[in-house]
């Protein structure tokens, strides 16, 4: 079978009070289909239904028997990764070379960057050559070079492909169709991200105008009906013969005439009521896409300390005989620093060392790690559920303003990675942080949420330390860059160098000490 079909498929999780997907119908054939939707909309659920990892409550899924799901999380290697590494076939060699996958990655999985793990996941999936391949966020954690590797590798796949991604360029480059998930329904659109979303925006604009027109028409008809009802009430009085003398023929004639007129007016009023009902039904049937107030802010404060942290010059082991060398690193209360470097260069390891060297209390630090494991996501959700009502309400209002459904999130058994990130952000936003540390903050988050986060960080008054491959995000928010570069051809030794792009005050150079200001 070279196609995927959903027929009247409905699905809900046991813990959820409301259904996630309801009676959805669509069909796709060979080629890539992008899957779009806000965090928690059900994109991952749809992929798992397609691959048979979940079963619908109602309806049927008709899919190729050889289907593979590539998960969003990178906690553990795929079950067949070892076989892929051991395969001596020419095609396996070429695929490992194309994605830069090394032979010892399985043994040192825990020391790999999440970007390297993602390449390992996707390489394994392509090596399996499934008829249906569903990939969840393939470019999360990846630098520009690795993203290009992934795009080229995915271009070579010729089966039925489902692709969940917030990478607009990737969706435009690969996808022939886009499936937009808006619980409880989905809609299939032709073209990549740009074509499909432009069409949706145009349709939504038309729908907004049509709804406004129907609202105006409904109000006009009701006003007209009110006028006619007053005419009927006056006619009721006019047609009465009570108190009219039998010999008053003129009065009796007017009453009888009023009865005839009243009958006609009543008929027109009934017709008008019918038009009012029809207009209301048409108004309510106009589909407007989910919208609501967006935007959040950090209630941060400026530290009274001279220095937020100082990391003395040292070498940090990275695994596989690799080492990251750095001079003295320090950060001042107003500094806005970006840490950059290729996948596997030690950015996350450096951040973890910095967290250990902080000179301010951890309760004054909003630390958002690159990944939160499944158990950590469940624990965070339970922590929010146990909060006092006022605190929980503030957190969930923030989640809503980041574009996710608070009720659906609280009902879930385990939040998606994107929902987890929003939930942690919401908890940290109210902590009056003096330092915000974020490791790949845009990973897993939908586009409107990324824009909200960017606006909040731009207005934040404290220190900011970012690791991100999103260059637009970094360039807008930071003034200093700590770049990790390789000092030898084998990439065994790396060091940190700093450049200042604005009025940033922090400095770092190999072997140099920077005095506190």
Per run of 10 residues, the mean pLDDT along the chain (length 517 residues) is 91 69 93 88 92 94 95 90 94 92 92 88 95 92 82 92 88 91 87 80 76 85 82 63 57 54 67 85 70 67 92 84 86 93 85 92 89 88 91 87 82 83 83 89 79 85 90 87 76 60 44 31
Q: Are residues 76 and 122 in the same domain?
A: yes
Judge whether 399 lies within some domain: yes
* pLDDT (0 to 100) of residue 387: 92
Last residue of some domain: 191, 214, 232? 191
Range of the domain at 96: 3-191
Task: Identify whether the C-beta of residue 210 lies closer than 8 Å to the C-beta of residue 286.
Answer: yes
Judge whether 196 lies within some domain: no
Q: Are residues 319 and 444 in the same domain?
A: yes
* pLDDT (0 to 100) of residue 42: 87
- Token digits of residue 502: 């604005």
Q: 205-233 burial, b if ≥16 CB within 10 A, otherwise e?
A: eeeeeebeebeebbeebeeebeebeeeee
Alpha helix positions (H), 367-494: 374-385, 389-401, 406-411, 417-429, 447-458, 471-477
Give dist(CA 346, CA 457) in Å, integer: 24
Q: Are residues 169 and 260 in the same domain?
A: no
Q: Which H, E and C letters describe 115-126, residue by residue?
A: HHHHHHHHHHHH
Q: Are residues 494 and 357 in the same domain?
A: yes
Give dist(CA 377, CA 398) in Å, integer: 17
List of residues 6+ apart from 16 with CB closer than 8 A: 408, 411, 412
Judge whether 299 lies within some domain: no
Closest CA to 163 of 137, 143, 199, 132: 137
Last residue of some domain: 136, 160, 191? 191
* pLDDT (0 to 100) of residue 490: 60
Judge whether 234 lies within some domain: yes
Domains identified in the chain, total number: 3
* pLDDT (0 to 100) of residue 274: 85
Q: Are residues 252 and 224 in the same domain?
A: yes
Query: Token pair 């209301």 is at which residue?
Result: 280
* pLDDT (0 to 100) of residue 502: 46
* pLDDT (0 to 100) of residue 508: 47
Q: Are residues 184 and 214 in the same domain?
A: no
State the CATH number of the domain containing residue 142. Answer: 3.40.50.300
Q: Are residues 333 and 243 in the same domain?
A: no
Q: Are residues 60 and 139 in the same domain?
A: yes
Q: Are residues 19 and 156 in the same domain?
A: yes
Judge whether 300 lies within some domain: no
Residue 493 φ/ψ, nearest 5 degrees: -125, 130
Q: Are residues 319 and 264 in the same domain?
A: no
DSSP strand E in 167-313: where?
175-182, 185-190, 309-311
Judge whether 208 lies within some domain: yes
Judge whether 508 lies within some domain: no
Q: Are residues 219 and 121 in the same domain?
A: no
- Token digits of residue 135: 């990939």
**How far is the CA of 428 from the CAs of 21, 297, 454, in angstroms?**
31, 11, 15
* pLDDT (0 to 100) of residue 64: 94
Q: Are residues 160 and 219 in the same domain?
A: no
Judge whether 217 lies within some domain: yes
């Amino acid at each position: 079978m070279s196609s995927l079909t959903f027929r009247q498929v409905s699905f809900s999780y046991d813990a959820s009070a409301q259904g996630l997907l309801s009676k959805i119908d669509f069909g796709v054939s060979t080629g890539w289909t992008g899957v779009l939707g806000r965090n928690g909309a059900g994109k991952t659920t749809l992929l798992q239904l397609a691959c048979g990892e979940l079963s619908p409550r109602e309806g049927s899924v008709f899919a190729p028997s050889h289907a593979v799901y590539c998960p969003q999380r990178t906690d553990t290697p795929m079950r067949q990764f070892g076989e892929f590494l051991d395969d001596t076939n020419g095609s396996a060699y070429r695929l490992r070379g194309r994605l830069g996958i090394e032979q010892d990655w399985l043994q040192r999985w825990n020391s790999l960057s999440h970007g390297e793990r993602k390449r390992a996941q996707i390489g394994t999936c392509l090596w399996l050559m499934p008829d249906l391949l569903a990939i969840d966020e393939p470019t999360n954690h990846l630098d520009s070079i690795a993203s290009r590797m992934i795009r080229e590798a995915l271009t070579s796949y010729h089966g039925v492909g489902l692709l969940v991604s917030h990478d607009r360029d990737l969706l435009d480059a690969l996808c022939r169709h886009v499936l937009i998930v808006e619980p409880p329904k989905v809609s299939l659109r032709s073209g990549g991200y740009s074509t499909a979303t432009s069409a949706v925006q145009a349709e939504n604009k038309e729908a907004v105008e049509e709804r406004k027109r129907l609202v105006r028409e409904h109000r006009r008809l009701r006003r007209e009906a009110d006028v006619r009802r007053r005419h009927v009430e006056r006619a009721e009085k006019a047609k009465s013969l009570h108190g009219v003398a039998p010999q008053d023929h003129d009065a009796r004639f007017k009453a009888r005439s009023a009865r005839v007129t009243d009958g006609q007016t009543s008929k027109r009023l009934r017709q008008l009521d019918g038009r009012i009902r029809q207009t209301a039904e048409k108004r309510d049937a106009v589909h407007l896409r989910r919208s609501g107030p967006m935007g959040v802010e950090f209630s941060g404060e400026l530290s009274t300390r001279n220095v937020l942290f100082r990391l003395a010059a040292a070498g940090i082991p990275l695994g596989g005989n690799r080492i990251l060398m750095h001079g003295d690193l320090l950060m001042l209360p107003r500094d806005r620093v970006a840490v950059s470097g290729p996948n596997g260069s030690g950015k996350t390891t450096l951040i973890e060392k910095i967290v250990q060297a902080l000179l301010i209390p951890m309760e004054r630090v909003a630390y958002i790690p690159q990944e939160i494991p499944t158990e950590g996501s469940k624990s965070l959700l339970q922590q929010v559920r146990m909060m006092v009502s006022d605190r929980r309400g503030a957190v969930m209002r923030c989640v809503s303003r980041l574009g996710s459904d608070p009720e659906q999130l609280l009902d879930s058994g385990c939040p998606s990675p994107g929902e987890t990130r929003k939930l942690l952000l919401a908890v940290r936003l109210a902590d009056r942080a003096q330092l915000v540390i974020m490791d790949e903050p845009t990973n897993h988050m939908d586009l409107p949420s990324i824009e909200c986060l960017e606006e909040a960080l731009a207005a934040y008054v404290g220190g900011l330390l970012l690791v991100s491959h999103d260059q637009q995000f970094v360039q807008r928010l930071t003034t200093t860059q700590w770049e990790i570069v390789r000092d030898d051809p084998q990439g065994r030794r790396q060091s940190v160098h700093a450049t200042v792009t604005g009025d940033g005050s922090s400095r770092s150079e190999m072997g140099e000490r920077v005095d506190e200001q």
